[in-house]
Structure 1
Amino acid sequence: MKTALVWFKTDLRLEDNESLVKAIANSKEIVPVYCFDDSHFETTPYGFKKTGGYRAQFLLESLQDLDANLRKLGSGLLIVKGKPEVELPKIVQEYKIQKVYAKREVAFEEKRTEKMVQDELFKLRCELETCSTSTLYHAEDLPFSIKNIPDVFTNFRKKTEKDAIIRKSFEKPTEIHSPEIPALQLPSLDALGLKKVTIDKRAAIQFKGGESEAIKRLNHYFYETKCLSKYKETRNGMVGADYSSKFSAWLAMGCISPRYIHTEVKKYEKEFGANDSTYWLVFELLWRDFFRFMFKKHQTKFFLYSGIQSEKVNSKSLNEKLLSQWSNGATQSDFINANMIELKNTGFMSNRGRQNVASYFCNELNMDWRVGAAYFEEQLIDYDVCSNWGNWAYLAGVGNDPRDHRWFNIEKQANDYDKKMEYRNLWLK
C-alpha cells in the first residue's frame, strides 16, 4: 500500500469527491494539497486580474473550511504557492508519493497546467489520475461522443434527459489516514497581490466560502424556506437573497457538486412534491454541464474573437472611455449602471443582469466581447471558466445561440424586471 497525493483545485469538498474517495481506497495514506497557482493571480492581456478580491477571499474561506473538515477525519490541508508543475513534484519527493489524484480539466489553460504537472510527475515515476467531478452527467454516460454533442442546448438537453442517467454521488469519507499535516498556512490577500474587499451591505447575499456554508445555503433554500418550490417564478428577480438559489459561487469553487444538489432535489420532491420549479433547478445545472462539454468539444475556440462560429458580426474595437463608463456604471442606461455597480461592490449580479450588461457591451457599445468576459473573470465571486466564456460568446452571437443575433432591448428589460425601480433605487442612490 502506498501514499497518494490529492490535488485539490476547484473541488473543495468532501461530499461527492471521486478523486478523494479513489485515493483513500487505493492508498495507505493520503496527503491533501492545494497549490496557489501564480498564473491565477496575474494580469490578463485584457488588462484585468485573473482573480479579483471577492473570489480570492471566497477561496481562502473555502480552504479554511476544507482544512477544518479534513482535520475532523484525521488529515489536513497542505498549502503551497507557485507553479503546480514545480511545487507538486517537491511534495511527491518529500512524502515518497506514487500517485496523484486530481479533478479533470477541460479548459485550455487548466489542461495545459495539468499536462505540465503530468510530465514532471512522469520523470519521478509518479502517475497522475484524473476524475471527472464537475458535472451532473458524466461525460462517459452521454448519448453521444464529445465531438458529436449538439451545439444547440435544447437538442443536447432533450436527448441527454431521455437517454442518460445521473450517477449516484460519492459518500463523504468517514476517516482519512495521513502523515502529520502541519497547521494550515494560507497566504494573505496582500501576498496574492490583492486588496482586502468588503461585500457591500446592499448585496443580495453575503457569500462565505466553504462546503459547510454551501450545505447551509442548500438547507435554507430547500428545507427552511421551501423557496425551491417557486424557483421558476422568482429566478428572474434582482433584489434579495432568495429569488434564486445563489449556489453558483459554491458550485464554481467546487464546495458543492451538481450531483449532490440533484440528490437533494430528489429528496425534496419526495417530501414536498415535484413541480416545474424543482425541475428548473436541475435544468439550470444542465446548462452548466452543456458549457463544460462544449469546452471539451471546441477547446480554445471559446477564447477567439469569432468564437465557435466562422463569421463575426460586431466590432472588434475597444474604446477605453466606453469601457470605463461600462465597468464603473456610468453609461447612458440607469439599468446597466445599477447592475455594474452591484458587480463592482459585491462580486455578484443576477442572471438577468448579466445578460443585459453583456448584450449592451456587445451591441450598444459594439466592443470586443472578450474584454467584457475578462472583466467578469476578475470581478465575479462565482466565476466559472466554461459558464463565463460560454455565456459571453452566446450573447455576442459567436457561441451556441441558435438564433442569429440576440439583442436585448434594455429599456423593455428594465421595465419588465424592475418595474417599480426597486433594484435601480437600491444601487443608484
Structure 2
Amino acid sequence: MIKTALVWFKTDLRIGDNETLVKAIAQSKEVIPVYCFDESHFETTEHGFKKTGSFRAQFLLESLQDLDVKLRELGSGLRIVQGKPEVEIPKLVQEYKVQKVFAKREVAFEEKQTEKKVELELFKLRCEFETVSTSTLYHAEDLPFSIKDIPDVFTNFRKKTEKDATIRNPFEAPTKINSPAIPAIDLPTLEALGVTKTTIDSRAVLPFKGGESQAIQRLQHYFYDTQCLSSYKETRNGMVGRDYSSKFSPWLALGCISPRFIYAEIKKYEKQFGANDSTYWLVFELLWRDFFRFMFKKYQTKFFLYEGIKSEKVNSKSLNEKLLSQWMNGTTPSDFINANMIELQLTGFMSNRGRQNVASYFCNELNMDWRVGAAYFEEQLIDYDVCSNWGNWAYLAGVGNDPRGHRYFNIEKQAMDYDKKKVFRNLWLKD
C-alpha cells in the first residue's frame, strides 16, 4: 500500500465504472484527483482550425464541474492545473510526494506522445506510472486476436469478437475517497482558454450539458422514461428531434459515461422490456467505437495521413478556399448539405446521416483534401472523439476501413430518403 496516488483524469470524467480511480483507491492511503488543461488542446492546427471549439470547451467545463461535485460528495475534489501535462503533473507529484500516478491509456498519436513525455518525467522523480484501458466496450486483452491481427473490415471484427469475447462488468463507483484538503475548483473561463463563448441554438436536437449526472439522466430518459431504445434501429437515421437516436456521443467522448455501463443498462432494459433488433443495434454502434479505437492502436499515425491506411492515393489533395468557405458556412448549391452544416455551426452537433453526407460531398463533389474536413469537425463537434472522427472521415474518403473502396453518396437521393418533406431543411434554412 502506497501513501499517496494521483489520478490524472482526461477523457474519463466519471466516478462510475472508472478502473483508474478504483485502482488508485485500492492501492493507496490517499488519492489526489487532477485534471490538466493541456495547452496544446487549445491551439490552432496545421489546417487552420482550433483543436477545441466553443461547444466542446463549454461541455468540458460543465463535465469538470460535475466531476468535482461528485468527488466532494466522497470526501475528495478535483485539482485543476493548466499548461503542459509533462510539466504540471510532475509538479504536483513533488508537491504531494506522490508515489504513483494512474491514468487512462491512450491510443491516438498525439495523446500517446503526451503520455510518454509524462512517463519520462515521472521516471526521473522515481514515481510509478500506470495506465488503464477504460474507453472501450471490449477490453483489448479479451479480443480474440492481437492488435496487429485485428481485421480491417468491421464485419469480420464484429462477428469474431461477438462470438469469442465477453464484455466485462462495469466497476462499482467508489463510496469514499481519502484525500488531503483539495482547494475549491478553479476552472478557467472560455476566454482564458482562447475560446469565444457561443450559445447553442434553440433549434438544437438537445441542449447538451456536460457531466456524468447529465449522461445518466439522458440514459434514464432514452431507456426507461420513453423506451425509445426499443425502436432505435428504425429511428436512428432521423435528423430532427431529441429522441431519434441515443445522443450519448458527447458524454461518451469525454468519458462522462462508459460503453460498459451503457451495455449493462441495455441488458437490464432487455430483462424489463424485452430484447429486439433495436436493443442490439445500440451495442452494434458501441462496437463501431471500439473498432476505430483498436484501428488507431494498430495503425497509429496513418489515420492522419492523406493516403490513410491505404497505399494508393484516391482523393484529391487540393483545397479551394472559396469552396471550403461555402461548405463550412452552408452556402453550397445543395440545400441538404447546407442545412446540416448550419446545424453543426450553430449547435456543435449533426446527425450520423448528416455527417456521412457532408463528408461524402466534401471528398467527392468538392474533391478536396479530406483531412481539412476532419479538422473542421474536430473544432466544431461537441462529441469529437479522435478515433471516431478521423476513422470515419478516412472511411468516407476511401482511405480507411471501407471494404467497398470509394463510397459515394447521391446527396439528392439521400435528401429524398431522409428528409422527404423537407422538415429538416426548413428548420435550418429559414432565416
TM more than 0.5: yes
AA at the equivalent of 2:226: T
1:139-159 CA-partner distances (Å, limit 9, x unpaired): 000000000000000000000
**Structure-1 separation of matches of 2:252 and 2:165:** 22
**How far is the alpha carbon of 1:394 from its aligned partner?**
0.1
Q: 3-state SS of the aligned residue for 2:311?
A: coil
**Structure-2 separation of matches of 1:310 and 1:320:** 27
AA at the equivalent of 2:49: F
For residues 193-272 of structure 1, the aligned pairs below 5 Å read: 193-272=194-273
**Structure-2 separation of matches of 1:252 and 1:125:** 32
**How far is the alpha carbon of 1:90 from its aligned partner?**
0.5
Q: Normalised by the size of structure 1, how large is the TM-score?
A: 1.00
AA at the equivalent of 2:366: L
**Structure-1 separation of matches of 2:405 and 2:84:** 42
1:305-336 CA-partner distances (Å, limit 9, x unpaired): 00000012121100000000000000010000
Q: Normalised by the size of structure 2, how large is the TM-score?
A: 0.99
- Residue number in structure 2 paired with 1:410: 411
The answer on 1:188 being equivalent to 2:179 is no
AA at the equivalent of 1:359: S
1:380-424 CA-partner distances (Å, limit 9, x unpaired): 000000000000000000000000210000000000000000000
The answer on 1:338 being equivalent to 2:339 is yes
C-alpha contact (below 8 Å) 1:16/1:260 kept by paired residues: yes
C-alpha contact (below 8 Å) 1:362/1:368 kept by paired residues: yes
Q: 3-state SS of the aligned residue for 1:101?
A: strand
* Stretches of structure 1 lacking an aligned partner (at least 5 in a row): none
- Residue number in structure 1 paired with 2:68: 67
For residues 6-155 of structure 1, the aligned pairs below 5 Å read: 6-155=7-156
Structure 1 ranges of 4+ moved more than 2 A: none
For residues 361-380 of structure 1, the aligned pairs below 5 Å read: 361-380=362-381
1:363-396 CA-partner distances (Å, limit 9, x unpaired): 0000000000000000000000000000000000
Q: 3-state SS of the aligned residue for 1:243?
A: coil
1:9-53 CA-partner distances (Å, limit 9, x unpaired): 000000000000000000000000000000000000000000000
Q: 3-state SS of the aligned residue for 1:217?
A: helix
1:190-231 CA-partner distances (Å, limit 9, x unpaired): 000011110000001110000000000000000000000000
**Structure-1 separation of matches of 2:45 and 2:196:** 18
**Structure-1 separation of matches of 2:165 and 2:3:** 36
C-alpha contact (below 8 Å) 1:312/1:397 kept by paired residues: no
1:157-207 CA-partner distances (Å, limit 9, x unpaired): 000000000001100000000000000000000000011110000001110
**Structure-2 separation of matches of 1:398 and 1:313:** 7
**Structure-1 separation of matches of 2:64 and 2:374:** 26
- Residue number in structure 2 paired with 1:292: 293
Aligned length, in residue pairs: 429
Q: CA RMSD in A?
A: 0.3
What percentage of residue pairs aligned between the two structures are identical?
A: 83
C-alpha contact (below 8 Å) 1:307/1:393 kept by paired residues: yes
**Structure-1 separation of matches of 2:121 and 2:315:** 43
The answer on 1:166 being equivalent to 2:167 is yes
**How far is the alpha carbon of 1:281 from its aligned partner?**
0.2
- Residue number in structure 1 paired with 2:388: 387
Q: 3-state SS of the aligned residue for 2:315?
A: coil
- Residue number in structure 2 paired with 1:277: 278
**Structure-2 separation of matches of 1:341 and 1:204:** 13
- Residue number in structure 1 paired with 2:315: 314
AA at the equivalent of 1:215: I
**Structure-2 separation of matches of 1:375 and 1:312:** 22
**Structure-1 separation of matches of 2:171 and 2:204:** 34
**Structure-2 separation of matches of 1:393 and 1:91:** 39
**Structure-2 separation of matches of 1:2 and 1:276:** 49
1:284-312 CA-partner distances (Å, limit 9, x unpaired): 00000000000000000000000000012
**Structure-2 separation of matches of 1:404 and 1:231:** 28
* Stretches of structure 2 lacking an aligned partner (at least 5 in a row): none
**Structure-2 separation of matches of 1:343 and 1:197:** 13
C-alpha contact (below 8 Å) 1:12/1:63 kept by paired residues: yes
**Structure-2 separation of matches of 1:314 and 1:51:** 26
Q: 3-state SS of the aligned residue for 1:255?
A: coil
**Structure-2 separation of matches of 1:6 and 1:359:** 41
**How far is the alpha carbon of 1:272 from its aligned partner?**
0.3
C-alpha contact (below 8 Å) 1:118/1:128 kept by paired residues: yes
**Structure-2 separation of matches of 1:308 and 1:377:** 20
AA at the equivalent of 2:131: T
1:332-381 CA-partner distances (Å, limit 9, x unpaired): 10000000000000000000000000000000000000000000000000
**How far is the alpha carbon of 1:2 from its aligned partner?**
1.2
C-alpha contact (below 8 Å) 1:84/1:117 kept by paired residues: yes
Q: 3-state SS of the aligned residue for 1:28?
A: strand
**Structure-2 separation of matches of 1:9 and 1:189:** 18
C-alpha contact (below 8 Å) 1:55/1:347 kept by paired residues: yes
C-alpha contact (below 8 Å) 1:77/1:184 kept by paired residues: yes
C-alpha contact (below 8 Å) 1:231/1:278 kept by paired residues: yes
- Residue number in structure 2 paired with 1:178: 179
